[in-house]
Each structure stands twice: as C-alpha cells, then as structure tokens.
Amino acid sequence: MNDDTPIMPGPEADEPTAPTEPQPPAPDEAPTSEQPDEGRDRPRRLLRSSSDRVIAGVAGGLGDYFGVDPIIFRIGFVLSILFGGLGALAYLLLAVFVPTDGDPDAAQRLGGRLQGTGFWRAVGLVIIGILAIGGLFGLAGGAAFAVALGWGVPTAIVIIVIGALLALLAFRGGARWLIPPAVALAIGGGVAAAANLDFRGGIGERTYNPTSVASIPADGYRLGVGRLVVDLRDLNWQQHRVVDLSTSLGAGQSNVFVPKRVCVVATTHVGAGESEVAGDVNSGADVNHSVGTGASAAPRLVLDSSVDMGQLRVINSDNADINTPGYGPGPLHVDTAPQRAAEARACAAK
Amino acid sequence: MRREVKLDPVSLASGVVIAALGALLLVDSAGGLHLSLGWMAVVLTAAVGAIFMLSGLLGGSGGKNPE
C-alpha cells in the first residue's frame, strides 16, 4: 500500500457506519478527473436504467451492472419469451423489485407497495396477478378456439351481451372489473375471425403419401391444428403430368413435398405466418403468394393451399426428410437457394 | 349513511365499445364482411386505446360515492 496516496473524501464519511479510518482507493481505481468521484467506494448496486430503456430499463441496468452491452440481455429476454416465457416473468419481477437510477416510475411504486405489504402477502398478490393475466389469456384463447370451431356467431352474441351489461351497470355505479375479460374475449374472437381460423379439420399430425392421383381427395387435404404433410414424391409423374392439389390448415405447419424436377404452380394464402413455396419466402399477415403462374412445363403440380396461422412450405426436393422442418442438418436450418434453383429448372423445362 | 349511486362513464363507454366489437365480430362471422388481420388489429388496438383514454380522461374509481 502506498502511504503517499491521497485520501479521497467520500459521501460515506458522514454516514454512521463509515469506517473510522477511510481506506484510500486502490491505485488501479484512481479517479481520472479532478472532481471527487462520488460513490466510487460504494458497493455496486443493480439499478434499472432511466436513460437506456426500452420498456422498464431492466436490460440497460443489467448491462451497466455487468459492464456489457444491454442488447445482449434484450436478446436474451426476447429469446426466453419464445422458449417458455421464463424471461418475461424474470423481467417483470426485476422491473417491479429493482429500483431505477432516476425518478421512481410506476413499476417502482408498485414494488414499494408490495414490499410494504409484507413478503408473503406480496407473493400472494404476485401469484394472483399472474393468475389473473393467465385467465385473461385463457379467455382470449377460448374465444379464438370457439370462433375457430365455427361458433363465431354465439361468441359474438356473448360479447355483445357483456358489453350491453357493462353499459347498463354503468347506471348502477359501474362494473369496471368486467372490462378486461370482455376485451380479452373480443380480442381472441376478433383475431380468430380475421385470420379465418378453422379448427374443424381435427387436431394432430397428418401425413399423406398418395401413390396415385385417384387417391387424392377431390376437396384436398384439411387439418385444423397441427402438422399437415403431403408427400407427392411417390406419384408416377411420368403418367400424371399435371396434378391438382388443395390443402387447408387452421394453425400449425403445412408441408407439401414434390420431386425436384416437378414444376410447382401455386396459389397460396397464409393468414399470419410464413409462406415458403419452392424456395420463395414471404412472411407477415395476409400473405398471398403466387408461384410459377403461366408455366406450362410438365410434370407440374397445380397447388391451391392455405394456412390460417403458421407456416406453409412447398419443397422441391428428392431427399428432404418429412420429419425435419428444415431442409438441411437441423430443424432451424433453412437454405432456400437450392429450392429456388430446382423450381426454376423444373418450370423452365419443356 | 346513504350511498348515492351515480353514472360511471368509463363503464358506459367501455360497454358501448365492447358491444360494437361484438357486433363487428357478429357481422364478420355471419359473412357480412371480412376484415383482414391487419385491419382487425387496427380496430382492436383503437378500441383498447379508446378504453384506456376514456379511463384516463374520465378517471375516478367508479360511480359509488359514500355520503
């Protein structure tokens, strides 16, 4: 220890718990400015950032605390939502119980109230809150499910009745507790109706491997929820030069496999999700996709396919595995270039 | 102590908005019109935003005022 090192006065000097002999800063932590570095000796504390925040400043605070880019934590939170949602719960708890480095915000005030109510009571309130949010999601999902099963009109009538009841109860003091469940029902039903969700085709995984055109149903293949696979690679394409096919899926993944040399003329619709037809990828809401229109090449598949919510893939490949969502090694591997090339060659052939 | 019950404008306005959403869903389900997912998102967001805005503007904790 260097005895000539100046002793820096700090705010702790006035605190009753301050040591009687102030410790000098370590040589490698010497302040770089002439101003006293307030708080340098204090233990680092995790605080939510008030300046670097997207929602509640949790990622900004974590990044500052650990000395890394907050984007790492943001990506982690988003990924965790996709894989189980534990990160969302962690974010919520951190937002409520970790204070900000600026003026107290709504989350901090909520956390303060929870801490003031005692630990177990606060835990109970958090559990009730989570259950309430889960219940609202359940109501929205139930309404969506009902609409998808064809009960759109009864669901709409229930929502109208609840709305009318809410308006009538306004004259007797109001019933605001009815607002969140009614809104949840309206959102679930509305989204399902707009996406044309149709679960009446059943639930599960269906794999069809027709070996002749006669075995393909005239109205095509249909599934409500799950994975629909139609593998046309065992058809005799020398005999059946042009094959018509329609598929319909409510929610999930729809795959149509054709040999590499078959031209695909497809008209597809995806309500919300991704359409990937012979290597041509489009995603978003209301994705309408036309591929190979006007092509007269043979052999040719004329496809009319729809997915209300999820993913539609038409795959030109002789060796793609129907059990692997991607083409290559691994479920998330997507190399669409070979598909586009195969499609272009097949549709250009005379 | 007599409890005066007066009109709760937030409940009234929210009820009207929710009933209107139900009517829209009814017409859609009956085949009268078809809103795309994008437009439905706009309608739902506007409805929820309107309820929040009314709650903020009209405020209060309900229409029950003890006297």
ipTM for the whole complex: 0.86
Q: Residues A334, A327: contact at Cβ < 8 Å?
A: yes
Judge: B29–A163 Cβ closer than 8 Å, yes or no: no
Instruction: Provide the 10 A C-beta neighbour count for residue B30.
Output: 11
HSE-up (13 A, CA, CB side) for residue A336: 11
Instruction: Answer yes or no: pTM beyond 0.95.
Output: no
Q: Residues A132, A181: contact at Cβ < 8 Å?
A: no
Q: What pLDDT, on a 0 to 100 scale, did the predictor assign at position B60? A: 57
Strand, helix or coil at A290? strand
Between A198 and A23, residue with greater pLDDT: A198
Q: Between A160, A189, A286, which is nearest B19 by CB?
A: A160
Judge: A163–B64 Cβ closer than 8 Å, yes or no: no
Give the Å distances, CA to CA, from B36 to A44, A314, B2, B19: 51, 24, 51, 20
Going by pLDDT thresholds of 50, 70 and 90, the confidence category of residue A183 is very high
Give the integer Cα–Cα distance in Å for A94 and A108: 10
Q: Spell out which residues of chain B touch residue A189, defining contact as CB-CB under 8 Å.
A: 25
Give the integer Cα–Cα distance in Å for A227 and A161: 36
A9 CB-near residues (< 8 Å, 6+ apart) = A22, A36
Q: Tell me which chain B residue has its CA closest to the CA of residue A308.
A: B37
Q: Is the dihedral of CA A120, A125, A130, A135 positive or negative?
A: positive
Query: Taking residues A164-173, what's their average pLDDT?
Result: 92
Q: Between A160, A170, A171, which is nearest B22 by CB?
A: A160
pLDDT digits (tens, 9 = 90+) for A289-311: 888 777 778 888 999 999 888 88
Q: In sequence order, what E strands does chain A have?
A: 203-208, 221-231, 242-258, 263-277, 280-291, 300-316
Query: Taking residues A179-200, what's their average pLDDT?
Result: 88
Q: Spell out which residues of chain A touch residue B67, defining contact as CB-CB under 8 Å.
A: none
pLDDT > 80? residue B40: yes
Tell me the percentage of chain A whose pLDDT exceeds 90: 17
Q: What pLDDT, on a 0 to 100 scale, did the predictor assign at position B16? A: 94
Going by pLDDT thresholds of 50, 70 and 90, the confidence category of residue A251 is confident
Q: Residues A74, A59: contact at Cβ < 8 Å?
A: yes
Query: Taking residues A14-22, what's their average pLDDT?
Result: 43
Q: What pLDDT, on a 0 to 100 scale, did the predictor assign at position A175? A: 87
Between A12 and A276, residue with greater pLDDT: A276
pLDDT > 60? residue A259: yes
pLDDT digits (tens, 9 = 90+) for A68-103: 888 778 877 777 765 556 777 788 888 888 888 888
Which string of DSSP letters, residue by residue, matches A197-261?
---TT-EEEEEE--SSGGGS-TT-EEEEEEEEEEE-TTS-TTT-SEEEEEEEEEEEEEEEEE-TT
Query: Taking residues A328-335, what's their average pLDDT?
Result: 52
Query: Taking residues A55-67, what's their average pLDDT?
Result: 86
